[in-house]
Amino acid sequence: MNIEHHSRKIAYRNPCGAVCCGTTVKLRVAVESYTVPETVECVVGGEAVRMYYIMEINHNRIFECKVKMPASEGLVWYAFHVRADGGEAWCGNNPEFLGGIGRTYSERPDKFFQITVYDKDYKTPDWMKNAVVYQIFPDRFYRAGETEFHGIRREWGETPYYKASQFGGEYTSDDFFGGNFAGLREKLPYLKDLGVTAVYLNPIFKSQSNHRYNTGDYETVDPLLGSNEEFEELAALFKRNGIRIILDGVFSHTGDDSRYFNKYGSYDSVGAYQSEDSPYYDWYNFSDWPDKYESWWGFTTLPNVHEMTDSYLDYIVRGKNSIVKRWLKKGASGWRLDVADELPDEFIKELRKAVKAGDKNAVLIGEVWEDASHKISYGKQREYFWGKSLDSVMNYVSRDAILSYVMSGDAPLFLRRLSSLYENYPHEALYSCLNLISTHDVPRALTILSGAPSVDAMTREQQAYYVIPPAELALAELRLRMAVAIQMTIPGAPCVYYGDEAGMSGYTDPFNRACYPWGNEDKDMLDFFKRLIALRKKYQCLRTGGFLGVFSYEDMAIYMRCISGGKDVFGKKAEDGMILVAVNPLESGADSITLDMDRYGVTAAADALTGEPIPCSDGIIELKIKPMSFVIAELERSDDSPIILD
């Protein structure tokens, strides 16, 4: 007996993908058996729903049922159970848990198909869906004018300190290069020329360290960067020039050297470490006050906070002049939440209310490394995309898929991984994702794509002075171009980590946080980034168009972005357009492919970057794509009728 269900084809599931509360979903299954099935059921959660025979196709009996989604948001899991041929079988999700085509099992499967059910009022900012984001580690981007240094002053371009002895015996991350707000102002023309429309800043608040994830004072900009007033001026200047600023919110812990904990008496406040009568005492969990307390991942410099403590909630979230509201008033356009999976759902929901009350168009992005639609942390199903929590997340899932693909060339797996996100994430969330390939927490893409030894195989000393050999560098640059081509053409907001466009490489912290190499940029790579960003901004279908027709050919990954019928995936009026993307990461082999695009009414094609025509006759496209390269093609259609694909 064989049972077939494909969760991304409307012939089997209609509508596909995530749905609003109360939506009725039609589910079908094809059963191939010698005898007429005795029973065919769709098991939704713990309930068996009878399915009815409707037709036979190619010796497969098709059964159907309709399931109304719950009135409240959450996840719905389903599988199919069939009794026939004197036995029974199940159809559930595939072992990869990626949705799409399922698997027949002899016993009840562990993995069911997923339907994400979200609140009908779930809405994310339109500007975010159209954004090109640039992530900046403030201390390392650009230093302008005189600045007030604290910690260890370093000269621009030196290797960041990476061992305890360099800090005097204890690893304190307090070597500073002096990047500041004045530098950001001075480099505004650069950012505009690059084409970015939003900047995500790693933490800017007063702190002892260069990364500033051990917050000292949420109310005050680190004086090395500038002042509160300078931030307001910077945000206003950037916004006038079409660039928004997203701040990094570190709300799961503070620094021990902070006005709230005040372990070293650096502040004029009475901190929790100093007195049990401190107004901040209830924020922390002491097992034996003052020296034994709960801390983030065991780092005593980062005491954890109880986010749901009333006084903490009032200070950070609920108060009229709470931290999240205050900085929105000063010009920020949203927050990225550090370690979102360590923040209670209830806290994130309260924070969302505060953010949207402060600015309905502000964005709330979470640091989540896995598929955020079904993420479980600390034994609890997270509610990120149910409509009352995050707008979106940092898309580490697509990062892993992209980098793995351009390295290995497994196109079917790559496309299944992207399609799984398209299936599981509500469009409001997916199209607002930060699509990244490098960040401050992972090795830079160029280093990974060069095939450099893994972090575990290198000492810190070796990592610090590792230089990618010329042959490997040339290969890495070709792979990076393919990765960026994908990053700029899939749903979500591409996020460029400062310096990737200049050819920067580096292992993990602190080597991925080196100074931007002003004057020594890879000009060819920089020009490439500019052209790809401009391409994304040119075509609306690359921003809010559907993600269609994914397939592979000899490890070439091919997909389309499309707006047809005058409306994008959100039902908003938009210019029709169709872009086809083909990527060939193999170092040798086929360099051409024939594509039958007649079913979409395609009449002509041209290279979207060069304008050169691509042979097209009767809907048949002859696509030339060399090994280790890509083609982005603009397609023309014979009519503007909506395209419906399964």
- The residue written with tokens 């009725």 in the block is 24
Residue 211 structure tokens: 């990364």
Our answer to whether residue 338 is catalytic in this structure is yes
Backbone angles phi, psi at 106, to 5 degrees: -80, -20
Active-site choice (256, 307, 338, 500): 338
Our answer to whether residue 229 is catalytic in this structure is no
Helix, strand, coil percent content, the chain, rounded in steps of 5: 25, 30, 45
CA distance 368 to 433: 11
| CB within 8 Å of 616: residues ≥ 6 apart | 597, 602, 603, 604, 605, 622
Amino acid identity for residue 561 in this structure: R
**Terminal-residue alpha carbon distance, the chain:** 25
DSSP state of 75: E
| CB within 8 Å of 317: residues ≥ 6 apart | 323, 324, 347, 350, 351, 354
- Vertex 482: Cα angle to 476 and 486 (nearest 5): 140
DSSP state of 439: -
Is beta strand 363-366 parallel, antiparallel or unpaired with respect to 334-337? parallel
Residue 256 structure tokens: 């021990």
Residues in the chain: 646
Cis peptide leading into residue 138 (ω within 30°): no
Backbone angles phi, psi at 528, to 5 degrees: -60, -45
In order of 18, 63, 65, the CA distances from 13 in angstroms are 11, 12, 10
| CB within 8 Å of 490: residues ≥ 6 apart | 398, 418, 435, 547, 559
Amino acid identity for residue 433 in this structure: C
Active-site choice (256, 367, 423, 477): 367
Three-state SS for 223? coil
DSSP state of 555: T
Phi-psi region of 611 (alpha: psi -120 to 50; beta: other; left: phi over 0): left
CA distance 352 to 344: 12
Residue 557 structure tokens: 């990954």
Cis peptide leading into residue 15 (ω within 30°): yes
Q: Is 439:393 a contact under the CB 8 Å cutoff?
A: no
Point out the residues that are catalytic.
338, 367
